[in-house]
Structure 1
């Protein structure tokens, strides 16, 4: 699987670069939302998408707990600040849909706030679509058995332990409730201008390939080719790097 996975991912990297080039040339704006349970694989697929992209043409929005002042704002306000400029791609690692699943499950919002959000989302996303923003919404689906295996791996691996928050640990006991909230979210906010797409992420590698392929199919590629670059010939022989003695060299330890 590893060899075939890498080959498929390398091919998709080229297509993603073409996608970014097309956004840059056309000035179109694109937003992709990644939602799903804890440990579903949101961060991993976002890393794969951004792996070969020009860092000046995309942003990752992974917002933390709202500040005291942000809790008094219009709910969508802090997300609007992260929407793309012309030619830009923004990848949301969780999004405004926190209020549809995580917040009600954990008691972080009132019933009235939850209902008001579900009523407002279709209009909010229609405004984005009407302004020309390409919006894609993905739910990464994972069975509880696979989710528990990933939690155990994170708990045992010091390099991944930071991924486990107190909220994640409590949410493990709310698998069924969060599934019910997810279904209500999809039923109330699935629209032609902003449909929901569900991706099987029990196998994360297969899920990444399927999601990226689907993403690329949703956006017409721009016809403008990526221009070839011809390097001009150097004048003279290649030179060695000579840096002023005022700088301090880092010891070569490897």
Structure 2
């Protein structure tokens, strides 16, 4: 029995090590920077959280997210969480940490491309509606219908009449969602001009991140002030009691992720739900069964 307990502890320690390795792999997204850019970035973030403290807090919050997920399924609640912000503000990073340990059948991310020619002729909100949650689901929008108030307006893809229609319609659209039983949460990730410039430089110098840069992203640097004015009007006209905006200071990526997840958890009256005790059934052995030998070409080569 002692040997079994010891083996169980060894297995659990190995599993925990794998979990931390997975977190480290995600964190290594910043490790491919040129040494000069890394040095400049570190100088600008001298008070960042120690890695151990960050991982400890993240794992604790992710455990709470699992409880939230179970409560959503158990109660049949519906949730939509919108993540907006300037390019490189950290939306994708927090979404990755939220979904990392959750069931993708319950929690899914929606990141729509630019509208097609057909979609441009539809009611503006129409292409978002099919992605709204059913009971027991959480949908995370990595950018949302607020594209019209931001990039579409600033870059000239929507004229002022269309923008005005949007501002008139969106509060009622969101009130309709809330009346239908959807819990709607809206986050804006805020970074300074200097921080965005630093993150864009990091992407330019990191071959693993260059795919994140688009001509639209580069134009957002040129039009920083236009985006600021658009953001301010968006807050003024769409910050409604039924669906208020929450601003996440994002210059420190790790703190932004932890603060956002912690705040998100406070918005739901979730609690632990009863779980059926799981027992592993005994495997059935058939004495006349003989496992077939498969040809070696079916196997992936063991290079590592």
Normalised-by-shorter TM-score class: over 0.9
After superposition, the C-alpha distances for 1:37-94 in whole angstroms (9 at most, x for unaligned) are 0000011100000000011112111011100000000000001111011100100000
What is aligned with 1:27?
Answer: 76
Which residue of 54, 73, 85 corresponds with 1:5? 54
TM-score (structure 2 length as normaliser): 0.80
What is aligned with 1:244?
Answer: 294
- Gaps of at least 5 residues in structure 2 are 1-49
Which residue of 65, 71, 80 corresponds with 1:16? 65
**Cα separation, 2, equivalents of 1:241 and 1:52:** 34
What is aligned with 1:67?
Answer: 116
Q: When you count helix as a share of all residues, which structure comes out higher?
A: 2
Contact 2:154 2:226 in 1 (8 A): yes
Which range is displaced more, 244-253 or 47-56? 244-253
- After superposition, the Cα gap between the structure-2 partners of 1:102 and 1:243, relative to the gap in structure 1 and judged at 3 Å, is farther
**Cα separation, 1, equivalents of 2:219 and 2:291:** 55
**Pairing 1:152–2:212 present:** no
- After superposition, the Cα gap between the structure-2 partners of 1:194 and 1:241, relative to the gap in structure 1 and judged at 3 Å, is farther
What is aligned with 1:253?
Answer: 303
What is aligned with 1:57?
Answer: 106
Contact 2:67 2:272 in 1 (8 A): no
Which residue of 242, 249, 252 corresponds with 1:193? 242
**Cα separation, 2, equivalents of 1:226 and 1:10:** 21
Which range is displaced more, 175-184 or 27-36? 175-184
Provide the aligned length of Structure 1 versus Structure 2: 253
- Gaps of at least 5 residues in structure 1 are none
Which range is displaced more, 128-137 or 166-175? 166-175
**Cα separation, 2, equivalents of 1:37 and 1:177:** 12
Contact 1:23 1:222 in 2 (8 A): no
What is aligned with 2:15?
Answer: none
**Pairing 1:124–2:157 present:** no
Contact 1:142 1:200 in 2 (8 A): yes
**Cα separation, 1, equivalents of 2:104 and 2:173:** 28
Which residue of 205, 211, 214 corresponds with 2:254? 205
After superposition, the C-alpha distances for 1:111-140 in whole angstroms (9 at most, x for unaligned) are 000010001000000000000000000000
Runs (4+) of structure 1 exceeding 6 A deviation are none
Please report how far the alpha carbon of residue 158 of structure 1 lies from its aligned counterpart in structure 2 after TM superposition.
1.1
What is aligned with 1:93?
Answer: 142
**Cα separation, 1, equivalents of 2:138 and 2:206:** 32
**Cα separation, 1, equivalents of 2:293 and 2:243:** 54
Please report how far the alpha carbon of residue 227 of structure 1 lies from its aligned counterpart in structure 2 after TM superposition.
3.9
**Cα separation, 1, equivalents of 2:218 and 2:108:** 28
**Pairing 1:167–2:216 present:** yes
Please report how far the alpha carbon of residue 225 of structure 1 lies from its aligned counterpart in structure 2 after TM superposition.
3.1
**Cα separation, 2, equivalents of 1:241 and 1:213:** 50
